[in-house]
Amino acid sequence: MENLVAVFVAFFKRQGDSVLSAIGAGGSWWDAARWDRELTADLYALAAELSEAMGGDLAASFGFAPEDYNVDNTLAFLQSFAESRAQWVNDATRKQLEDALADESEDAPGPARVFETAEAQRAPAAGKATLTALASFVAVEAATKLLAGKATKTWRTNSTNSRKTHARMDGETVDLDAKFSNGLKWPGDPAKGADEVAGCECTVEITPASDD
């Protein structure tokens, strides 16, 4: 997880230096295309590396060789995954900056506080959520390809502060190719948008089908 947290910390620092300078200069201060592109690239590179390692470990746990998990088959999805995460993160930052700039109260924290909080708090949370989402995706992908779909998956809620809907799903088991009751294929699946998965620490448990 440390590598992912470091990616977010470095990104927020780089973004903060640029955006705060632009705000101070009084001109246009937000370049959505740039920030989405840069964070996507950062996340995609690490996601590919991490998912290959996790997939190899899962392959071994299923009784296959680590190299039997082919990360190349997942790169298109990992690119889309990185793009969605980057957009969610940047949308949240932009909104926080707009709120900070609109706050004219005497004790207003100002836009610099947005990036201080991002580096100290949001980066660790985003790193953990991104890693757990990747792990869940890789688990389902590995089981689908290596076990020929002959398995079930179970939703596990790990946080004491999870969404109520996710807490109610703890222990829910479905066929590997089915969706859970919230419409997601696995915890962190971006299909339902940020509101459903942002900060989610849930995981998925794969149970291979019995030979009996």
pLDDT in tens, 48-91: 999 999 999 999 999 999 999 999 999 999 999 999 999 999 99
Nearest Cα residue to 140 out of 177, 184, 194: 177
pLDDT in tens, 160-201: 777 888 989 999 999 999 999 999 999 999 988 888 888 888
Q: What is the pLDDT of residue 7?
A: 97
Residue ranges of alpha helices (H) inside the chain are 2-25, 32-61, 75-102, 111-117, 123-146, 164-169, 194-197
The answer as to whether 171 is a domain residue is no
Lowest-confidence region among 10-14, 132-136, 158-162: 158-162
Q: What is the pLDDT of residue 112?
A: 97
Q: What is the pLDDT of residue 211?
A: 63
Number of other residues whose CB lies within 10 A of the CB of residue 7: 20
> How far is the C-alpha of 103 from the C-alpha of 97, rounded, in Å?
10
Q: What is the pLDDT of residue 199?
A: 80
The answer as to whether 100 is a domain residue is yes
> How far is the C-alpha of 59 from the C-alpha of 51, rounded, in Å?
12
Q: What is the pLDDT of residue 192?
A: 85
Q: Can you tell me whether residue 209 is helix, strand or coil?
A: coil
The answer as to whether 60 is a domain residue is yes
- Domain span holding position 78: 2-148
The answer as to whether 211 is a domain residue is no
The answer as to whether 180 is a domain residue is no
Number of other residues whose CB lies within 10 A of the CB of residue 148: 10
Q: Residues of the chain with pLDDT > 70: what percent?
A: 99
Domain count, the chain: 1
The answer as to whether 48 is a domain residue is yes
Q: What is the pLDDT of residue 153?
A: 96
The answer as to whether 169 is a domain residue is no
159 has pLDDT over 80: no
The answer as to whether 106 is a domain residue is yes
